[in-house]
Amino acid sequence: MARRVSAVACFIVCSLAVGCGGSAPEAQSVADDNGTSEPSDDDLGPKAGAEPEDKPDDELKETGKLKTTSGGPTPEAQSANDTQAILQLVIEDPELDPYLKLGEPGRFPLKVSGSAVPQGIELVKSTKPVVMSPAPKDKKDPVLVITGLEVQGKDATVSYRYDIEGIRGTAYLKKSSHGWELTRSRVVEH
């Protein structure tokens, strides 16, 4: 993974240098055991004594992922990364924590369900991976159900319910230059 991110970062730097009138360094790759290539030392940036290049903010890493730029992740990959970041912030919301009661039997690791949760998403709560679960069979099952996930540009809204505690909640998020941030949330007992 780190090799692919470095290769993508190198491609972006080279593309921007060419687009800004500079010359692109010759790309040299070294194949690894899997037949994929990784950048050579020449592709990883300026050498000692060389003048550093000014890099625009959109080249910088954002929570371990590159922002979408030409040569960056595809819109589908970026969308999946956004969804994962959004849901991770929701399950870490301090407003929700008292209701999860992860110290009680059967509640840890956290179980999450809902048609709004994409398959293959990986979330972590309190150092353990979240378990993706089928819909709860009754209201006594400790499963956090994501009932809605809407992303419109730089704004996102997530709705959920946790029937065992009789709550419903909504989280509002906004994407800034530093990534997604939970701006406010509301948890109500019903």
Q: pLDDT of 80-103, one tens digit each?
A: 999 999 999 999 999 999 999 999
Same domain, 56 and 80: no
Check pLDDT > 80 for residue 55. no
- Cis peptide bond prior to 134, omega within 30° of 0: no
Same domain, 65 and 144: no
Same domain, 7 and 100: no
| 0.95 exceeded by pTM | no
Q: pLDDT of 128-174, one tens digit each?
A: 999 999 999 999 999 999 999 999 999 999 999 999 999 999 999 99
Q: Looking at 36, 51, 73, which one is the last position of a domain?
A: 73
Same domain, 165 and 141: yes
Q: Looking at 47, 73, 99, which one is the last position of a domain?
A: 73
Same domain, 42 and 99: no
Same domain, 90 and 160: yes
User: Which residues face 184 on adjacent strands?
Assistant: 172
Helix, strand, coil proportions of the chain in percent (round to 5)?
Answer: 25, 30, 45
Q: Domain of 127: which CATH number?
A: 3.10.450
Same domain, 102 and 168: yes
Same domain, 56 and 104: no
| Domain total of the chain | 2
Sign of the CA dihedral with 39 first, then 42, 48, and 53 last: negative
| Rounded CA separation 74/119 (Å) | 18
Same domain, 95 and 171: yes
Same domain, 150 and 178: yes
Same domain, 41 and 82: no
33 vs 102 pLDDT, higher one: 102
Q: pLDDT of 110-132, one tens digit each?
A: 999 999 999 999 999 999 999 99
At 72 the pLDDT is 57
Residue-range definition of the domain harbouring residue 184: 76-189
Same domain, 115 and 138: yes
C-beta separation of 75 from 82 below 8 A: no
